[in-house]
Structure 1
Amino acid sequence: MKLNYFKFFTLLPLVLGAKSVLAQEENLSSKDSIQIQQELKDSDLKEEGSDRNVMLNAANNSGPRDVNIGLPATVGGITILENDLPVVYFYWPELPNKTWRQSVGLKNTGLLKMEDLATTMGDLGFAVNSYTQNGTKEFQGKLNLTGSHFGWFQGDVNVSGPISDNGWTYSAGVFVNFDPSTYDLGFNNYVDQTKIFRVGLTKYFKEDKGEFNVYYKYADSYVNTNYAVFEYGPNGEANEIDGFEIGNDSYIVRDGRMRFRDIRNGEYYFGELDGAANTNTSHNVDIFGNYKLDNGWNFKYSTRLHLAKASLLYGIPLSIFEAGAQDGYTIASTGEAYTGRVGTQLGLSTPEIPVTSVMGRFSINKQLDNHNVTLGILEQYYHIDKYVSNRSLYFQTVENQPQRLIGPNTDEYGFYGYNTSAEYFNGTENKLAVYANDTWKVSDKLNVKAGLMLRHHLIDGDFTRTPRSEGFTLADAELTDIDESYFHVAGNLNASYNITKNFGVLGNFLYTEENGRLENFSTAIDPSVVKSRSPLAGLGVFWNTDYFSLVSQATYLTKNNYLTRYNLVNPADNTESQQTSVFYNIQTLGWTTDMMITPFKGFNLHYLITLQDPVYKDFTFDAFGENYDYSDKTVLEISNVLMEIDPSYTYKDWRIWASFRYFSKQYANINNALFFAPRWENFGGVNYKYNDHISFGATVVNFLNQTGAKGTINGAELINDASQFYGSTLSGSYIRPFTVQASVNINF
């Protein structure tokens, strides 16, 4: 599968919203779960900083954590919106964290509920919604400096204020991030180098009629992703091997260079991981605001022009094997003979792909007696100019900062299998949708929320069915036109009923549809564009007292025609690999209980537990001459039991907090033969408010100092017998090691 910068699974928040069930001020962990409190209109979104548990990511510093709903996370992770529009139209090849970061340049940030995302975007899941810090009528400055004991530095500043007496104001901000992560690359000082600049104007209309904003954002982001090697044990353990420390060592080839053949022109080239070959740049112009009409309707609009150059370069570990003197491996940089562990790697390069998107959302909203009604239109245009993913295979040593190897089947540079799994597509997508939402207070006891979206989706472009033999280029290919048109329906119906003043029942239904995207046409195999339907239904109870608020709900969710691409390794020959597209269904049954306990002044304890059973359905495919059927297997990487425990205590200007997240056993290959043992991930911190202008914070990531792997075991998708891997060296992703972070916030 493609690389995942956000692939961090937590919580199963399958319960959708009713109103006023959980009350929470300081700790937004229930926002990360059931999200019952309120309707999350613009004014309800919490100020940045208060949503710390939503955003804390145990995988990296570059984006919010993914919020699990019992389905595999997408490569892009949780959907991210800014000013009610997606920061990128589609996560591939332009990952959202390369144009958006949590920042003081954002006025507020919050988690958008599943039903709101369904009826305003037509998508399934949760979303982080954020709003640009616009101009202010009085001068205002915000500065945040953050660092870690590994040398991470993040600087974030925004200033805003008036320009004239007739309502014109300004805002400008700079975000810079220099993050070495927790390991040394060998070819670059930083794993994440990101710069984001914002500047714009705001016009406030008289009599509080509304505002007009025009803002420009430029982003330049370079990000790498690391893996770990470890010894796999019989109980799902991932033990460190000699010479490689999980989380503190790099499994990225030491010189950061990979060789490819460009399928567009047939030329060979080296991609350099330390520069432009792995950097994304983008330009955004946003025009947004609102105007209160004389008839009481509030007209709201948000438009965006987004221009980007997307570049990706990375290597994915496939397998590890032992090589002897007779196998003929040598170190590429020295010519010295090599014996020992050899890692097979898949290199992927997407060089400077132009991406254009134009989006606009226009809506009107009004309180009509006991109805709060919103009507809207959403237009999204997207064009990608000749997306390519050039591919090659290579070998490397298995150690910290591995060296590239030349083997018996490689060229003189150590590479082979050029473009045997290369990707190509080109064209345009257009989505035009209309939607309506109504929040209806039927009585003092009954609240109903309903929404409907109707969407027309067009895809126009070209791809190629030509098989990817070694050395493949577009000169060898015959292009085929893409001309697809789909109609989608999305909707939700939610209700809560108070049986007593503090106790009641809630129920909900959510439905979304999709068919396909341009990205589905990237391989030689015609994609399945059968309509994918995702119904979700839930029923539960809520109970409030002076000392706790509780909600508990059971939920059923299915999704058909799910697409995943696997880079499979032949169980009979671990030097042979192939890319396979698999279409399958998923079914999830879950039960979530969420509680906020406040036994005495200053102390809060949030507790959440989820029991779930996500399984594959109709999961069959062919690979290496064999047929595989993984129907009814548990979904990869998702725990059946999830818990979150979040205590905090506030005394005067001090606040002490912690967050503990438990994950039961997670399967590490799609056959469920391999798994990782249960684990805890944890955060803790202290915040001190010095005065109204200055505050300090200290955060410790993984303060219990666990080490270990998570996610999947690369190259093991087809393994049936786990015992053959006991004591073997494997590769995969991992949780961050013990990290101390500190920050200072200044408001002036």
Structure 2
Amino acid sequence: MKRTKLISLLMLSAIVIPTATEAQTKVAKDSLSETKEVKNRNVMLNASADNQPRQISIGLPSSLSASIYEDGLPVSYNIWPCLPYLYWTGTAEHGRMGLLSLGESAITNGAVNYAVLSYTREGSDKFEGHVNYTTNIFNLQRFDLSIAGPIKNGWSYSFGVYTNLDPGSNKLADVQYSTDMKIIKAALTKTFANNRGKMSLFYKYAYTKSMGDSYGPFIYNGDGSVSEYNGFRLGHDGFLPANGNITYKDVVTGETKTYDRKNGIHALNNSIVFNLNYNLNSNMNLDVRSKYNYANSYYSTLALAGTGVATATSGYTYAYDNGSHNAGDVFTGKFNNRYLLRDIGWERDWMTTAELKGINKNSAHKWRLGMNFWWNRQSISASTGVYAHTVEANPVWLDFNGSQGFALNTGGEYYNSHEVKAALYASDDWQVNNRLWLSAGVRGEYYGLGGTDALAYLNATDKTATYPNNIRTIGYSINNGTLTHFSNNWINPAATIQGRYTISKGFGLLAEYVYAMQHPNSQDYAGPYMPILDPVNIHLGRAGIFWNKSWMKLVSQVSIISQSNYKSRSQFTNPNKASDVVTIPITNNVQTMGWTTDVVLTPFKGFTFHGLLTLQDPKYKNFNITANFSDGTSKSYDFSNKITTGVSKTIIELDPSYMFGKFRVWASFRYQSKQYINKTNTLYFNGRWETFGGLDYSVNKFLSLSCNVINFFNQKGASGSIGSADLVEDVSAYKNYLMAGTYIRPFTVEFAAHINF
């Protein structure tokens, strides 16, 4: 998908492993949940955004955002078109948050990824309240309130409101806030007598305007380092024009439309969730979670699409008067291209998951039977185009040959579909004896989908267009094309097995294997090509040791993870002509081998240190393409065994913390080594550190204060891609090269107050 290319999804990173706290030598009371969640991960400690969960990669292509679950079910059925972080953030109304393990995710959801878990605070038999207020040196205003209390006869309630007005560190000239988010949540809970369980009904309303833009220009020096360009301050200067009006061609109707960017990016969500947790007897529990979800999303993504230099005959002119130039004046100099994705999408879901859990009499077996029935309706229409502006702080839009946008809808996407996932799964945790513990799970999923799209090529391998009017030529629209139909259904299996063997007290062996199969989803039918229908097979195997002492918990494992048939639609630039770009549907494999050591140290009272080291070797496999350019040149490329772009081979995390009296001081340091920019591995960014820290002070049992610092050393964390260099081998032209890319949050001081009553 173009989204895959534009947002640089191929970010293979640390293979995070279960921590040593999961490797105990005795049967714990809650041992069933020991292997289901991953410890030692602050999921909201994100170097790029402070209200979104961080990505914890597993060595496979990353997603647009982290998978997020709320009250046992996904915030969004799919990550796209309704990005879950537009409808969710960690709030005071969440009584607990965690991270679902890889094996558990494969069995319960059919996906091999780490999913953020969050649980809405339920009512209780005592009144309680929680208030959080956060601000920072850039005038962030965030308010968060949660209250809960009893009604009568076992009934109770909870209620929460959250608002986030974030102007961002780079003051954008066309909007007041980079993020404007509002969430309202309410819950009604009935607790059954005699410890039989409870049932809850949750309602959530979320509305977000997400208008941030974390891009900026810089000079790539050619040796992995970057330099400031013409005084532009990454993280502080805005890189979008003050005039937010954008004209595009609607991909559905073909009409020319204009919208204001600050009014064109918003997402709405209403959801109702019913949960029932009932103890059938002392050894058996029924857990049912059901959700109706209504979500709309309107995007105006302006992704980077390369820089260039205009001459007097290039056709670029100023789009409007800006004080120093008049509309229509010829522009010469450096410009930056933006790739517009004007996406309008929606989804309607009904998702139900039910689990029957049991423990045998001697507690040696903890078993589970579960089912998913997830029904979804979704649609997306994506109008596209290329737009140019000057390269400076608060730039100016440029016209090209008299038009603001060009190459309109050459990447246009559309589908209107339904999907069904119906799955049965089972698992068993077995404490064989005081040395050996085993766990196994299996899942069988029926996955069906169908709908309408606008394919030009109805065969994945034959490039002869069945419907030439659906080829994405300049000015394409569905109105002038032909709607086509698709329908498929598959069985997606998944399985996991893991075990640990205690050799001596606190020391032993660990091993795990996870497998899952996946097939194309509705998004794969959005472009002009029929997707390749071959299954995606994901295999993860790892083995190592655990070592537990009173002052140390350590796990060290070697691992290998692979994914076959990774599909994307990517742009490739003619090395001989930067304006000659082709879009190629590609399929390749990815494989990562690694060694990871995770340790938690508590050498003396009050002090805790968590460290993680990953050494890995992520590579493309079976990655061959042939690029046929418009100038008649054609060349084949083999990227097999090249290091995947945007990936570090060395990952380090260092997290010290110390409590004394009413104070707690903490820090988090993350290092990632150099990352390649292009698939030929001839250009790269140097390694960098991401740093966080803070001081917490507990005034009393009602009030606590904190001061946090992000990016101690004010590193830029510049990264990005150079589309024109993806196929080049001679990189001499990319020394002191102007490019634009992303960056991490600049040095930021944040203050917060937390009130509990």
Please indicate, yes or no, whether the TM-score normalized by the shorter chain is above 0.5.
yes
Alignment of 1:342-357 (within 5 A): 342-351=335-344, 353-357=345-349
Equivalent in the alignment of 2:478: 474
- Name the SS for the 2:88 alignment partner: coil
- Name the SS for the 1:657 alignment partner: strand
AA partner of residue 61 (structure 2)? P
Equivalent in the alignment of 2:80: 92
- Name the SS for the 2:646 alignment partner: coil
Equivalent in the alignment of 1:82: 70
Does the CA contact (< 8 Å) of 2:36 and 2:100 recur in 1?
Answer: no
1:248 Cα deviation from its structure 2 partner: 1.3
Equivalent in the alignment of 2:459: none
1:337 Cα deviation from its structure 2 partner: 2.9
AA partner of residue 195 (structure 2)? D
More deviation, 336-345/513-522? 336-345
Q: Supply the distance in 2 between the matched residues of 1:111 and 1:315 (Cα, whole angstroms).
A: 31
Q: 1:5 to 1:472 in 2, by over 3 A?
A: closer
Equivalent in the alignment of 1:309: 296
More deviation, 219-228/738-747? 219-228
Q: Supply the distance in 2 between the matched residues of 1:62 and 1:661 (Cα, whole angstroms).
A: 19
Does the CA contact (< 8 Å) of 2:12 and 2:62 recur in 1?
Answer: no
Equivalent in the alignment of 2:162: 175
1:618 Cα deviation from its structure 2 partner: 1.4
- Name the SS for the 1:614 alignment partner: strand
Tell whether 2:150 aligns with 1:149.
no
Identify the match of residue 261 of structure 2 among 268, 273, 276. Answer: 273
Identify the match of residue 691 of structure 1 among 693, 700, 711. Answer: 700
Does the CA contact (< 8 Å) of 1:7 and 1:73 recur in 2?
Answer: yes
Equivalent in the alignment of 1:377: 371
1:6 Cα deviation from its structure 2 partner: 11
Tell whether 2:618 aligns with 1:614.
yes
Tell whether 2:435 aligns with 1:445.
yes
Q: Supply the distance in 1 between the matched residues of 2:41 and 2:14 (Cα, whole angstroms).
A: 18
Does the CA contact (< 8 Å) of 1:467 and 1:524 recur in 2?
Answer: yes
Tell whether 2:237 aligns with 1:249.
yes
Alignment of 1:33-432 (within 5 A): 41=33, 53-76=42-65, 78-164=66-152, 166-223=153-210, 224-275=212-263, 277-294=264-281, 296-334=283-321, 335=327, 336-351=329-344, 353-368=345-360, 369=362, 370-385=364-379, 387-408=380-401, 412-432=402-422
Q: 1:11 to 1:619 in 2, by over 3 A?
A: closer
AA partner of residue 397 (structure 1)? T
More deviation, 537-546/569-578? 569-578
Q: Aligned pair count?
A: 725
Q: Supply the distance in 2 between the matched residues of 1:484 and 1:526 (Cα, whole angstroms).
A: 12
AA partner of residue 416 (structure 1)? F
- Name the SS for the 1:338 alignment partner: coil
Equivalent in the alignment of 2:461: none
1:627 Cα deviation from its structure 2 partner: 2.9
Q: Supply the distance in 2 between the matched residues of 1:294 and 1:429 (Cα, whole angstroms).
A: 36
- Name the SS for the 1:344 alignment partner: strand
Q: 1:720 to 1:255 in 2, by over 3 A?
A: farther
Q: Supply the distance in 1 between the matched residues of 2:130 and 2:7 (Cα, whole angstroms).
A: 28
Equivalent in the alignment of 1:520: 524
Does the CA contact (< 8 Å) of 1:154 and 1:176 recur in 2?
Answer: yes
Equivalent in the alignment of 1:29: none
Q: Supply the distance in 2 between the matched residues of 1:198 and 1:43 (Cα, whole angstroms).
A: 30
1:10 Cα deviation from its structure 2 partner: 8.8
Equivalent in the alignment of 2:467: none
Deviations for 1:525-555, whole angstroms, at most 9, x for unmatched residues? 1101101111111110111223222110000
Does the CA contact (< 8 Å) of 1:15 and 1:538 recur in 2?
Answer: no
Deviations for 1:168-213, whole angstroms, at most 9, x for unmatched residues? 1111111111111110111111111111110121111111211111
* Structure 1 gap ranges (5+): 24-35
Q: Supply the distance in 2 between the matched residues of 1:328 and 1:87 (Cα, whole angstroms).
A: 46
AA partner of residue 207 (structure 1)? N
Tell whether 2:657 aligns with 1:648.
yes
Q: Supply the distance in 1 between the matched residues of 2:8 and 2:201 (Cα, whole angstroms).
A: 30
Alignment of 1:10-25 (within 5 A): 12-16=14-18, 20-21=22-23
Does the CA contact (< 8 Å) of 1:21 and 1:37 recur in 2?
Answer: no
AA partner of residue 418 (structure 2)? T
More deviation, 181-190/712-721? 712-721
Alignment of 1:494-573 (within 5 A): 494-573=498-577
1:22 Cα deviation from its structure 2 partner: 8.3
Does the CA contact (< 8 Å) of 1:70 and 1:638 recur in 2?
Answer: no
1:7 Cα deviation from its structure 2 partner: 7.0
Equivalent in the alignment of 1:31: none
- Name the SS for the 1:684 alignment partner: strand
Q: 1:40 to 1:240 in 2, by over 3 A?
A: farther
Does the CA contact (< 8 Å) of 1:344 and 1:575 recur in 2?
Answer: no
More deviation, 624-633/441-450? 624-633
Q: 1:328 to 1:489 in 2, by over 3 A?
A: closer
Equivalent in the alignment of 2:590: 586
Q: 1:438 to 1:43 in 2, by over 3 A?
A: closer
Equivalent in the alignment of 2:609: 605
Tell whether 2:453 aligns with 1:463.
yes
Equivalent in the alignment of 1:28: none
Q: 1:268 to 1:193 in 2, by over 3 A?
A: same
- Name the SS for the 1:712 alignment partner: coil
Q: 1:75 to 1:639 in 2, by over 3 A?
A: same
- Name the SS for the 1:72 alignment partner: coil
Q: Supply the distance in 1 between the matched residues of 2:30 and 2:511 (Cα, whole angstroms).
A: 16
More deviation, 81-90/240-249? 240-249
Tell whether 2:444 aligns with 1:454.
yes
Q: Supply the distance in 1 between the matched residues of 2:188 and 2:253 (Cα, whole angstroms).
A: 44
Does the CA contact (< 8 Å) of 2:650 and 2:673 recur in 1?
Answer: yes
Does the CA contact (< 8 Å) of 2:22 and 2:35 recur in 1?
Answer: no
Q: Supply the distance in 2 between the matched residues of 1:567 and 1:268 (Cα, whole angstroms).
A: 26
Does the CA contact (< 8 Å) of 1:395 and 1:406 recur in 2?
Answer: yes
- Name the SS for the 1:57 alignment partner: coil
Q: Supply the distance in 1 between the matched residues of 2:110 and 2:207 (Cα, whole angstroms).
A: 29
Alignment root-mean-square deviation, CA: 2.3
AA partner of residue 521 (structure 1)? Y
Q: TM-score, normalised by structure 1?
A: 0.93
- Name the SS for the 1:115 alignment partner: helix
Q: Supply the distance in 1 between the matched residues of 2:171 and 2:31 (Cα, whole angstroms).
A: 45
